[in-house]
Structure 1
Amino acid sequence: MTLSRPERRDLLLTRPNSQDRDPAPREQLNSLGAIEHAVVDATIAILAPGQKFALLWSLQVGSNIVAGVQVKTRDGTQTNLLVPDEVLGYLTDHKRMSYNPEVGAWLSTEIFIAGPTRYRATYSTVSISEWMPEVSVEDLRAELADFPRPDATVPGWIRSRLDWTDRKTG
Protein backbone atom coordinates (compact mmCIF):
# COMPACT_ATOMS: atom_id res chain seq x y z
CA MET A 1 0.00 0.00 0.00
CA THR A 2 1.46 3.38 -0.98
CA LEU A 3 0.99 6.55 0.99
CA SER A 4 -0.27 9.55 -0.89
CA ARG A 5 1.40 12.90 -0.50
CA PRO A 6 0.07 15.00 2.37
CA GLU A 7 -2.18 17.77 1.21
CA ARG A 8 -0.72 21.24 1.56
CA ARG A 9 -3.31 22.45 4.10
CA ASP A 10 -2.43 19.56 6.43
CA LEU A 11 1.27 20.36 6.42
CA LEU A 12 0.93 23.43 8.56
CA LEU A 13 -0.56 21.76 11.62
CA THR A 14 -0.27 23.97 14.66
CA ARG A 15 2.54 23.08 16.98
CA PRO A 16 3.18 24.56 20.39
CA ASN A 17 6.08 26.96 20.22
CA SER A 18 8.93 24.67 21.23
CA GLN A 19 11.20 27.69 21.75
CA ASP A 20 9.11 28.67 24.79
CA ARG A 21 10.04 25.54 26.70
CA ASP A 22 13.15 23.50 27.31
CA PRO A 23 13.44 20.55 24.94
CA ALA A 24 13.38 17.11 26.49
CA PRO A 25 16.86 15.65 26.77
CA ARG A 26 17.62 13.01 24.18
CA GLU A 27 20.43 10.55 23.75
CA GLN A 28 23.28 11.88 21.62
CA LEU A 29 23.90 9.44 18.80
CA ASN A 30 27.17 9.31 16.90
CA SER A 31 26.30 7.65 13.60
CA LEU A 32 23.87 8.34 10.78
CA GLY A 33 22.55 4.78 11.02
CA ALA A 34 21.84 5.11 14.74
CA ILE A 35 20.05 8.41 14.15
CA GLU A 36 17.94 6.93 11.36
CA HIS A 37 16.91 3.98 13.53
CA ALA A 38 16.04 6.30 16.43
CA VAL A 39 13.90 8.45 14.10
CA VAL A 40 12.06 5.40 12.75
CA ASP A 41 11.53 3.94 16.24
CA ALA A 42 10.24 7.25 17.64
CA THR A 43 7.88 7.64 14.68
CA ILE A 44 6.53 4.12 15.10
CA ALA A 45 5.98 4.85 18.80
CA ILE A 46 3.45 7.62 18.01
CA LEU A 47 1.34 5.41 15.74
CA ALA A 48 -2.01 4.16 17.01
CA PRO A 49 -3.01 0.51 16.76
CA GLY A 50 -3.93 -0.35 13.20
CA GLN A 51 -1.80 2.37 11.65
CA LYS A 52 0.59 0.28 9.62
CA PHE A 53 2.37 2.59 7.20
CA ALA A 54 3.86 6.03 7.77
CA LEU A 55 5.51 8.73 5.73
CA LEU A 56 7.81 10.89 7.81
CA TRP A 57 8.87 14.02 5.94
CA SER A 58 11.04 16.94 6.90
CA LEU A 59 12.08 20.18 5.27
CA GLN A 60 15.17 21.83 6.74
CA VAL A 61 16.38 24.95 4.95
CA GLY A 62 17.96 27.75 6.94
CA SER A 63 15.77 28.39 9.98
CA ASN A 64 12.76 26.74 8.32
CA ILE A 65 12.68 23.34 10.04
CA VAL A 66 9.35 21.54 9.72
CA ALA A 67 8.23 17.94 9.63
CA GLY A 68 5.14 15.79 9.70
CA VAL A 69 3.97 12.21 9.72
CA GLN A 70 1.22 10.89 7.52
CA VAL A 71 -0.13 7.50 8.56
CA LYS A 72 -2.35 5.15 6.67
CA THR A 73 -4.31 2.19 7.99
CA ARG A 74 -5.02 -0.95 6.03
CA ASP A 75 -8.58 0.30 5.38
CA GLY A 76 -7.15 3.38 3.61
CA THR A 77 -7.83 5.95 6.33
CA GLN A 78 -5.16 8.66 6.51
CA THR A 79 -4.17 10.85 9.43
CA ASN A 80 -1.52 13.53 9.81
CA LEU A 81 0.44 13.67 13.06
CA LEU A 82 2.85 16.11 14.62
CA VAL A 83 6.45 15.00 14.84
CA PRO A 84 7.88 14.72 18.36
CA ASP A 85 10.59 17.28 19.17
CA GLU A 86 12.98 14.35 19.64
CA VAL A 87 12.56 13.37 15.98
CA LEU A 88 13.12 16.95 14.80
CA GLY A 89 16.28 17.08 16.89
CA TYR A 90 17.59 13.83 15.49
CA LEU A 91 16.82 14.91 11.92
CA THR A 92 18.72 18.14 12.53
CA ASP A 93 21.64 16.10 13.89
CA HIS A 94 21.47 13.86 10.80
CA LYS A 95 21.61 16.85 8.49
CA ARG A 96 24.59 18.33 10.32
CA MET A 97 26.47 15.00 10.43
CA SER A 98 25.78 14.11 6.80
CA TYR A 99 26.90 17.49 5.44
CA ASN A 100 29.40 17.11 2.61
CA PRO A 101 31.25 20.26 1.44
CA GLU A 102 31.23 18.88 -2.12
CA VAL A 103 27.41 18.69 -2.39
CA GLY A 104 26.04 20.57 0.63
CA ALA A 105 23.52 19.28 3.14
CA TRP A 106 20.17 17.71 2.47
CA LEU A 107 17.21 20.06 2.14
CA SER A 108 14.38 17.57 2.56
CA THR A 109 13.81 13.97 3.48
CA GLU A 110 11.04 11.44 3.08
CA ILE A 111 11.13 8.23 5.11
CA PHE A 112 8.55 5.59 4.19
CA ILE A 113 8.07 3.34 7.23
CA ALA A 114 6.45 -0.09 7.22
CA GLY A 115 8.19 -1.43 10.34
CA PRO A 116 11.26 -1.05 12.54
CA THR A 117 13.52 -2.61 9.92
CA ARG A 118 11.30 -2.01 6.90
CA TYR A 119 11.75 1.58 5.82
CA ARG A 120 13.21 3.56 2.95
CA ALA A 121 14.82 6.93 3.51
CA THR A 122 15.63 9.46 0.81
CA TYR A 123 17.52 12.67 1.49
CA SER A 124 17.63 15.31 -1.23
CA THR A 125 20.40 17.88 -1.51
CA VAL A 126 18.86 19.38 -4.65
CA SER A 127 15.07 19.46 -4.42
CA ILE A 128 12.05 19.97 -2.22
CA SER A 129 8.73 18.33 -3.05
CA GLU A 130 6.14 20.77 -4.34
CA TRP A 131 3.75 19.84 -1.53
CA MET A 132 6.19 20.90 1.20
CA PRO A 133 6.01 24.43 2.64
CA GLU A 134 7.61 27.19 0.60
CA VAL A 135 11.11 28.31 1.52
CA SER A 136 11.97 32.00 1.84
CA VAL A 137 14.92 33.66 0.12
CA GLU A 138 16.33 34.47 3.57
CA ASP A 139 16.26 30.78 4.49
CA LEU A 140 17.96 29.87 1.20
CA ARG A 141 20.74 32.36 1.94
CA ALA A 142 21.09 31.06 5.49
CA GLU A 143 21.25 27.48 4.20
CA LEU A 144 24.11 28.28 1.84
CA ALA A 145 25.93 30.19 4.59
CA ASP A 146 25.50 27.37 7.13
CA PHE A 147 26.20 24.53 4.68
CA PRO A 148 28.36 25.95 1.88
CA ARG A 149 28.69 24.06 -1.38
CA PRO A 150 30.51 24.68 -4.65
CA ASP A 151 28.64 27.05 -6.99
CA ALA A 152 28.30 24.28 -9.56
CA THR A 153 26.23 22.20 -7.09
CA VAL A 154 23.76 24.94 -6.10
CA PRO A 155 20.46 23.77 -7.62
CA GLY A 156 19.14 25.92 -10.46
CA TRP A 157 15.88 26.68 -8.67
CA ILE A 158 17.81 28.11 -5.68
CA ARG A 159 20.07 30.11 -7.97
CA SER A 160 17.02 31.47 -9.83
CA ARG A 161 15.22 32.50 -6.63
CA LEU A 162 18.31 34.26 -5.32
CA ASP A 163 19.09 35.93 -8.68
CA TRP A 164 15.49 37.10 -9.06
CA THR A 165 15.46 38.61 -5.58
CA ASP A 166 18.85 40.27 -6.14
CA ARG A 167 17.57 41.82 -9.40
CA LYS A 168 14.42 43.11 -7.68
CA THR A 169 16.33 44.65 -4.76
CA GLY A 170 19.58 45.55 -6.57
Structure 2
Amino acid sequence: MSQPATPLNEQEQNQLVKQIGRAMLPALPPGWQRVRAEYRAAGRHIEVDLAFAGPDGQWRPVRPPMDMVQLLGQLRTGMYEPVRGTWLSAVYEIEAPAAFSVDFNAEDEPRWRNAPPLIGFQDELRTFPRQDERIPEWLRQRLGLPPLPTPVEPEPEQPAAPVQQVQQAQEGELRTAHVYDGRDEEGRPVVNRQAIDRQLGDALLGYLEGAPVVLAARDLDVDEFVPTDRDVPLNFRTDGAWIWAGAVPHYLRKHGLPPEPDLVEHIVARGFRLGEVDEATRERAVAMITGGA
Protein backbone atom coordinates (compact mmCIF):
# COMPACT_ATOMS: atom_id res chain seq x y z
CA MET A 1 0.00 0.00 0.00
CA SER A 2 1.25 3.49 -0.80
CA GLN A 3 1.81 5.90 2.05
CA PRO A 4 0.76 9.58 1.89
CA ALA A 5 3.27 12.39 2.20
CA THR A 6 4.41 13.77 5.55
CA PRO A 7 1.35 14.91 7.51
CA LEU A 8 0.78 18.58 8.24
CA ASN A 9 0.93 19.78 11.82
CA GLU A 10 -1.94 21.80 13.27
CA GLN A 11 -0.36 25.15 12.42
CA GLU A 12 0.28 24.09 8.82
CA GLN A 13 -3.29 22.82 8.51
CA ASN A 14 -4.66 26.14 9.77
CA GLN A 15 -2.48 28.07 7.32
CA LEU A 16 -3.66 25.89 4.45
CA VAL A 17 -7.30 26.35 5.46
CA LYS A 18 -6.84 30.12 5.25
CA GLN A 19 -5.16 29.80 1.84
CA ILE A 20 -8.13 27.80 0.60
CA GLY A 21 -10.49 30.56 1.69
CA ARG A 22 -8.44 33.18 -0.13
CA ALA A 23 -8.33 30.98 -3.24
CA MET A 24 -12.14 31.07 -3.49
CA LEU A 25 -12.37 34.84 -3.69
CA PRO A 26 -11.38 35.38 -7.37
CA ALA A 27 -14.42 33.33 -8.44
CA LEU A 28 -16.89 35.52 -6.53
CA PRO A 29 -18.63 38.64 -7.85
CA PRO A 30 -18.79 41.93 -5.92
CA GLY A 31 -21.44 42.00 -3.22
CA TRP A 32 -21.30 38.34 -2.23
CA GLN A 33 -22.48 37.63 1.31
CA ARG A 34 -21.83 33.92 1.77
CA VAL A 35 -19.88 31.23 -0.03
CA ARG A 36 -19.96 27.45 0.34
CA ALA A 37 -17.47 24.96 -1.09
CA GLU A 38 -18.00 21.19 -1.00
CA TYR A 39 -15.20 18.74 -1.75
CA ARG A 40 -15.81 15.01 -2.11
CA ALA A 41 -13.19 12.41 -2.97
CA ALA A 42 -12.51 8.69 -3.18
CA GLY A 43 -9.05 7.92 -4.50
CA ARG A 44 -8.65 9.88 -7.73
CA HIS A 45 -12.39 10.51 -8.06
CA ILE A 46 -12.94 14.14 -7.02
CA GLU A 47 -16.06 16.31 -7.00
CA VAL A 48 -15.99 20.00 -6.09
CA ASP A 49 -18.89 22.46 -5.89
CA LEU A 50 -18.68 26.18 -5.18
CA ALA A 51 -21.66 28.49 -4.72
CA PHE A 52 -22.26 31.97 -3.36
CA ALA A 53 -25.24 33.92 -2.06
CA GLY A 54 -25.73 37.64 -2.51
CA PRO A 55 -27.98 40.08 -0.64
CA ASP A 56 -31.08 38.25 -1.95
CA GLY A 57 -30.00 35.02 -0.21
CA GLN A 58 -30.20 32.94 -3.40
CA TRP A 59 -27.40 30.42 -3.94
CA ARG A 60 -25.69 30.53 -7.34
CA PRO A 61 -23.03 28.06 -8.51
CA VAL A 62 -19.69 29.28 -9.85
CA ARG A 63 -16.72 27.45 -11.31
CA PRO A 64 -14.28 26.41 -8.56
CA PRO A 65 -10.79 27.91 -9.05
CA MET A 66 -8.15 25.27 -9.71
CA ASP A 67 -5.97 26.66 -6.91
CA MET A 68 -8.78 26.02 -4.43
CA VAL A 69 -9.26 22.46 -5.68
CA GLN A 70 -5.55 21.66 -5.45
CA LEU A 71 -5.22 23.17 -1.97
CA LEU A 72 -8.17 21.12 -0.70
CA GLY A 73 -6.45 18.02 -2.06
CA GLN A 74 -3.25 18.99 -0.25
CA LEU A 75 -5.19 19.48 2.98
CA ARG A 76 -6.85 16.07 2.63
CA THR A 77 -3.46 14.43 2.12
CA GLY A 78 -1.86 16.39 4.95
CA MET A 79 -4.57 15.40 7.44
CA TYR A 80 -4.04 11.67 6.87
CA GLU A 81 -3.54 9.50 9.96
CA PRO A 82 -2.51 5.81 9.72
CA VAL A 83 -5.25 4.58 12.05
CA ARG A 84 -8.27 6.42 10.67
CA GLY A 85 -7.21 7.42 7.16
CA THR A 86 -8.32 10.86 6.06
CA TRP A 87 -11.57 12.69 5.45
CA LEU A 88 -13.75 11.87 2.45
CA SER A 89 -15.63 15.14 2.18
CA ALA A 90 -15.43 18.66 3.51
CA VAL A 91 -17.71 21.69 3.60
CA TYR A 92 -16.04 25.12 3.78
CA GLU A 93 -18.30 28.12 4.40
CA ILE A 94 -17.44 31.81 4.54
CA GLU A 95 -19.72 34.61 5.65
CA ALA A 96 -18.65 38.14 4.73
CA PRO A 97 -16.54 39.81 5.76
CA ALA A 98 -14.34 37.16 7.40
CA ALA A 99 -16.24 34.51 9.41
CA PHE A 100 -15.68 30.94 8.24
CA SER A 101 -16.18 27.31 9.26
CA VAL A 102 -14.91 24.00 7.92
CA ASP A 103 -16.50 20.60 8.59
CA PHE A 104 -14.68 17.37 7.73
CA ASN A 105 -16.33 13.97 7.28
CA ALA A 106 -14.21 10.82 7.55
CA GLU A 107 -16.94 8.24 8.20
CA ASP A 108 -20.21 8.85 6.35
CA GLU A 109 -20.51 8.37 2.60
CA PRO A 110 -20.42 11.71 0.79
CA ARG A 111 -23.42 12.84 -1.26
CA TRP A 112 -21.87 12.11 -4.65
CA ARG A 113 -23.07 13.75 -7.83
CA ASN A 114 -21.90 10.58 -9.54
CA ALA A 115 -20.90 7.61 -7.42
CA PRO A 116 -17.22 6.70 -7.91
CA PRO A 117 -16.38 3.43 -9.67
CA LEU A 118 -15.03 0.52 -7.67
CA ILE A 119 -11.45 1.47 -8.52
CA GLY A 120 -11.99 4.86 -6.85
CA PHE A 121 -12.74 3.22 -3.50
CA GLN A 122 -9.86 0.77 -4.00
CA ASP A 123 -7.51 3.68 -4.69
CA GLU A 124 -8.77 5.38 -1.53
CA LEU A 125 -7.55 2.56 0.70
CA ARG A 126 -4.34 2.11 -1.27
CA THR A 127 -3.51 5.81 -0.98
CA PHE A 128 -4.91 6.38 2.50
CA PRO A 129 -4.87 3.00 4.28
CA ARG A 130 -6.71 2.78 7.59
CA GLN A 131 -7.20 0.11 10.22
CA ASP A 132 -9.78 -2.49 9.28
CA GLU A 133 -12.12 -1.55 12.12
CA ARG A 134 -12.06 2.09 10.94
CA ILE A 135 -13.41 1.21 7.49
CA PRO A 136 -17.10 2.24 7.67
CA GLU A 137 -19.75 -0.28 6.75
CA TRP A 138 -20.87 1.53 3.60
CA LEU A 139 -17.28 1.51 2.28
CA ARG A 140 -16.90 -2.17 3.15
CA GLN A 141 -20.00 -2.86 1.08
CA ARG A 142 -18.67 -0.81 -1.83
CA LEU A 143 -15.41 -2.77 -1.75
CA GLY A 144 -17.03 -6.16 -1.23
CA LEU A 145 -15.36 -6.60 2.16
CA PRO A 146 -17.02 -8.79 4.80
CA PRO A 147 -18.73 -6.94 7.66
CA LEU A 148 -16.89 -6.59 10.92
CA PRO A 149 -17.87 -9.19 13.52
CA THR A 150 -20.34 -7.95 16.09
CA PRO A 151 -18.64 -7.85 19.50
CA VAL A 152 -20.27 -10.00 22.15
CA GLU A 153 -20.97 -7.98 25.26
CA PRO A 154 -20.90 -9.87 28.57
CA GLU A 155 -23.92 -9.75 30.81
CA PRO A 156 -23.59 -7.05 33.48
CA GLU A 157 -22.80 -8.42 36.91
CA GLN A 158 -23.79 -5.31 38.82
CA PRO A 159 -26.69 -2.88 38.70
CA ALA A 160 -26.34 -0.04 36.21
CA ALA A 161 -24.23 2.83 37.48
CA PRO A 162 -25.61 6.37 37.70
CA VAL A 163 -25.37 8.44 34.54
CA GLN A 164 -22.29 10.34 35.70
CA GLN A 165 -20.44 7.08 36.46
CA VAL A 166 -21.41 5.60 33.10
CA GLN A 167 -19.86 8.60 31.37
CA GLN A 168 -16.58 8.09 33.19
CA ALA A 169 -16.56 4.37 32.39
CA GLN A 170 -17.08 5.13 28.71
CA GLU A 171 -14.36 7.76 28.46
CA GLY A 172 -12.55 7.33 25.17
CA GLU A 173 -15.42 5.24 23.74
CA LEU A 174 -17.59 7.90 22.11
CA ARG A 175 -19.76 6.43 19.37
CA THR A 176 -21.19 8.31 16.42
CA ALA A 177 -24.79 7.58 15.42
CA HIS A 178 -25.56 6.80 11.79
CA VAL A 179 -28.34 8.96 10.41
CA TYR A 180 -29.51 6.14 8.13
CA ASP A 181 -28.28 2.68 7.13
CA GLY A 182 -26.63 3.29 3.77
CA ARG A 183 -27.48 4.31 0.22
CA ASP A 184 -28.98 2.52 -2.75
CA GLU A 185 -27.51 2.40 -6.25
CA GLU A 186 -28.99 5.82 -7.02
CA GLY A 187 -27.48 7.40 -3.94
CA ARG A 188 -30.73 7.65 -1.97
CA PRO A 189 -30.69 6.92 1.77
CA VAL A 190 -31.64 3.41 2.84
CA VAL A 191 -33.42 2.78 6.14
CA ASN A 192 -33.92 -0.66 7.66
CA ARG A 193 -35.15 -0.01 11.20
CA GLN A 194 -38.12 -1.12 13.23
CA ALA A 195 -40.77 1.55 13.70
CA ILE A 196 -41.32 2.97 17.18
CA ASP A 197 -44.52 4.23 18.78
CA ARG A 198 -45.33 7.89 19.35
CA GLN A 199 -44.73 7.81 23.09
CA LEU A 200 -41.23 6.38 22.74
CA GLY A 201 -40.51 8.79 19.90
CA ASP A 202 -41.45 11.80 22.02
CA ALA A 203 -39.25 10.58 24.88
CA LEU A 204 -36.33 10.07 22.50
CA LEU A 205 -36.80 13.56 21.07
CA GLY A 206 -36.66 15.07 24.53
CA TYR A 207 -33.34 13.35 25.15
CA LEU A 208 -31.80 13.93 21.70
CA GLU A 209 -32.72 17.61 21.60
CA GLY A 210 -31.83 18.19 25.24
CA ALA A 211 -28.19 17.11 25.02
CA PRO A 212 -25.60 19.89 24.73
CA VAL A 213 -24.59 21.12 21.27
CA VAL A 214 -20.83 20.80 20.77
CA LEU A 215 -20.55 22.00 17.16
CA ALA A 216 -22.93 23.98 14.96
CA ALA A 217 -23.11 25.90 11.69
CA ARG A 218 -25.43 28.76 10.84
CA ASP A 219 -26.76 27.14 7.67
CA LEU A 220 -29.37 24.42 7.19
CA ASP A 221 -28.76 21.27 5.18
CA VAL A 222 -30.90 19.58 2.52
CA ASP A 223 -33.45 17.01 3.67
CA GLU A 224 -32.19 13.71 2.22
CA PHE A 225 -35.75 12.40 1.97
CA VAL A 226 -37.31 15.59 0.58
CA PRO A 227 -34.50 17.23 -1.43
CA THR A 228 -36.61 20.32 -2.08
CA ASP A 229 -36.54 21.11 1.66
CA ARG A 230 -33.50 22.72 3.25
CA ASP A 231 -34.42 22.52 6.93
CA VAL A 232 -31.98 20.07 8.54
CA PRO A 233 -29.98 21.60 11.43
CA LEU A 234 -26.22 21.45 10.92
CA ASN A 235 -25.18 20.69 14.48
CA PHE A 236 -23.86 17.89 16.65
CA ARG A 237 -24.75 16.92 20.22
CA THR A 238 -23.30 14.48 22.72
CA ASP A 239 -24.38 12.92 25.99
CA GLY A 240 -20.85 11.84 26.86
CA ALA A 241 -21.20 8.38 25.32
CA TRP A 242 -22.73 9.00 21.89
CA ILE A 243 -22.48 11.77 19.29
CA TRP A 244 -25.34 12.47 16.88
CA ALA A 245 -26.00 14.96 14.13
CA GLY A 246 -28.93 17.36 14.19
CA ALA A 247 -30.41 15.28 11.38
CA VAL A 248 -31.13 12.42 13.82
CA PRO A 249 -33.84 14.16 15.91
CA HIS A 250 -34.94 16.18 12.87
CA TYR A 251 -35.76 13.09 10.82
CA LEU A 252 -37.40 11.46 13.84
CA ARG A 253 -39.66 14.47 14.33
CA LYS A 254 -40.38 15.11 10.65
CA HIS A 255 -40.42 11.63 9.11
CA GLY A 256 -40.74 9.29 12.08
CA LEU A 257 -37.30 7.83 11.34
CA PRO A 258 -36.00 6.33 14.61
CA PRO A 259 -32.33 6.58 15.58
CA GLU A 260 -30.18 3.52 15.07
CA PRO A 261 -31.18 0.71 17.47
CA ASP A 262 -28.02 0.82 19.60
CA LEU A 263 -28.56 4.49 20.35
CA VAL A 264 -32.22 3.88 21.25
CA GLU A 265 -31.21 1.07 23.62
CA HIS A 266 -28.58 3.32 25.19
CA ILE A 267 -31.10 6.11 25.82
CA VAL A 268 -33.69 3.72 27.23
CA ALA A 269 -31.05 2.13 29.50
CA ARG A 270 -30.33 5.58 30.90
CA GLY A 271 -33.96 6.10 31.68
CA PHE A 272 -34.03 9.05 29.27
CA ARG A 273 -31.93 11.01 31.79
CA LEU A 274 -29.15 13.30 30.60
CA GLY A 275 -26.14 13.78 32.85
CA GLU A 276 -23.50 16.48 32.86
CA VAL A 277 -20.99 16.36 30.00
CA ASP A 278 -17.64 17.74 31.08
CA GLU A 279 -15.50 20.02 28.94
CA ALA A 280 -12.90 17.35 28.16
CA THR A 281 -15.59 15.05 26.76
CA ARG A 282 -17.05 17.87 24.68
CA GLU A 283 -13.61 18.56 23.23
CA ARG A 284 -13.13 14.88 22.40
CA ALA A 285 -16.50 14.91 20.64
CA VAL A 286 -15.54 17.94 18.55
CA ALA A 287 -12.23 16.28 17.66
CA MET A 288 -14.06 13.18 16.43
CA ILE A 289 -16.55 15.22 14.40
CA THR A 290 -13.88 17.34 12.74
CA GLY A 291 -11.51 14.46 12.13
CA GLY A 292 -9.02 15.40 14.83
CA ALA A 293 -9.51 12.27 16.94
Calculate the TM-score normalised by the size of structure 2.
0.44
Aligned counterparts of 2:132 and 2:95: Cα–Cα separation in 1: 38
- CA displacement, residues 29-57 of structure 1 (integer Å, 9 cap, x when unaligned): x8111111011111123211122101101
1:158 is matched with which residue?
A: 139
Aligned counterparts of 1:156 and 1:127: Cα–Cα separation in 2: 9
- CA displacement, residues 119-145 of structure 1 (integer Å, 9 cap, x when unaligned): 110111112343543222110010001
Q: Which residue, 77, 93, 100 being the options, matches 1:96?
A: 77
1:86 is matched with which residue?
A: 67
Secondary structure of 2:33's partner? strand
Aligned counterparts of 1:133 and 1:117: Cα–Cα separation in 2: 32
1:36 pairs with 2:17: yes
Q: Which residue, 103, 113, 119 being the options, matches 1:138?
A: 119
Secondary structure of 1:110's partner? strand
Cα 1:72–1:86, aligned 2, differ >3 Å: closer, same or farther? same
Q: Aligned letter for 1:145?
A: R
Q: Does the Cα contact within 8 Å between 1:62 and 1:140 map onto a contact in 2? A: yes
Q: Which residue, 102, 118, 128 being the options, matches 1:147?
A: 128
Calculate the TM-score normalised by the size of structure 1.
0.73
Cα 1:147–1:129, aligned 2, differ >3 Å: closer, same or farther? closer
Out of 71-80 and 151-160, give the one that drifted further.
71-80
Cα 1:131–1:95, aligned 2, differ >3 Å: closer, same or farther? closer
Q: Which residue, 78, 96, 99 being the options, matches 1:115?
A: 96
- CA displacement, residues 5-27 of structure 1 (integer Å, 9 cap, x when unaligned): xxxxxxxxxxxxxxxxxxxxxxx
Aligned counterparts of 1:122 and 1:83: Cα–Cα separation in 2: 18
Cα 1:131–1:147, aligned 2, differ >3 Å: closer, same or farther? closer
Q: Aligned letter for 2:68?
A: V
Cα 1:82–1:91, aligned 2, differ >3 Å: closer, same or farther? same
Aligned counterparts of 2:97 and 2:139: Cα–Cα separation in 1: 35
Q: Which residue, 42, 58, 61 being the options, matches 2:39?
A: 58
Provide the identity percentage: 22
For this pair of structures, how many residues does the alignment match? 135
Secondary structure of 1:144's partner? helix
Q: Aligned letter for 1:75?
A: D
Larger Rg: 2
Q: Which runs of 5+ in 1 are unaligned?
A: 1-29, 165-170
Cα 1:100–1:116, aligned 2, differ >3 Å: closer, same or farther? farther
Q: Which runs of 5+ in 2 are unaligned?
A: 1-10, 146-293
Aligned counterparts of 2:54 and 2:63: Cα–Cα separation in 1: 17
Q: Which residue, 106, 116, 133 being the options, matches 1:125?
A: 106
2:26 is matched with which residue?
A: 45
Q: Aligned letter for 2:123?
A: A
Greater RCO (CA < 8 Å, at least 6 residues apart): 1
- CA displacement, residues 62-81 of structure 1 (integer Å, 9 cap, x when unaligned): 11122121111121222111
Aligned counterparts of 2:83 and 2:123: Cα–Cα separation in 1: 18
CA RMSD of aligned residues (A): 1.7
